Chains A and B, each alone.
Chain A
Amino acid sequence: MNLPMTAAQIRFATLWRRECNRFLKIKKQTIGAPMLETFLYITVFGAALGSRIKHLHGIDYILFVIPGLIMMAFSTNAFTNNSSSILQQKFQGAIQDQLSSPASPAELLLAFSLGGFMRGLAVAFLTFIVSVVLVGLPVEHVLVLIPSLALVGFFFSQLGVLIGVRAEQFDDVAFAQTFVLQPLIFLGGVFYSAALLPQPFETLTRFDPIFYMINLVRYGFVGFSEVSIALSLLALTAATTALFLFNLRLFSRGYRLRA
Chain B
Amino acid sequence: MKALDITDLEKRYPTGVEALRGVSLEIEEGEFFGLLGPNGAGKSTLIHCTTGLAQPTGGSISIFGHDAIANYAEARQAVGLAPQEPNVDWFLTVEETLDYHAGYFGMPKRERRDRTKELLETFSLTEKRDERTRTLSGGMKRRLILARAVMHRPRLLILDEPTAGVDVELRLELWHYVQKINQEGTTILLTTHYLEEAEQLCDRIAFIADGQIVAEGTSPELAERFDVPNLEDAYLALVGRKELSRSHIELSADEVEA
Contacts and interface: CB of A to CB of B under 8 A. Distances in A.
B81 A258 contact: no
Given A102-B105, A103-B104, A97 B89 contact: yes
Interface string A4-36: 111110110111011001100110000000000
A96 B83 contact: yes
A259 B13 contact: yes
B87 interface: yes
Interface residues of B, number: 34
B74 interface: yes
Contact of B90 (A92, A96, A258): A92
A15 B51 CA distance: 18
Contacts of B85: 93
Nearest to B78: A102
B104 A98 contact: yes
B106 A7 contact: yes
B73 interface: yes
Interface in B87-122: 87-92, 96, 100-101, 103-109
Tier of interface size on chain A: 20 to 34
Given A100-B79, A102-B73, A258-B55, A94 B88 contact: yes
B87 A94 contact: yes
B87 A93 contact: yes
B93 to A, nearest CB: 10
A106 to B, nearest CB: 12
A101 B76 contact: yes
Contact of A4 (B100, B104, B108): B108
B65 interface: no
12 contacts: A4-B108, A5-B108, A7-B105, A22-B91, A93-B85, A94-B88, A96-B83, A97-B100, A100-B79, A102-B73, A102-B104, A258-B52
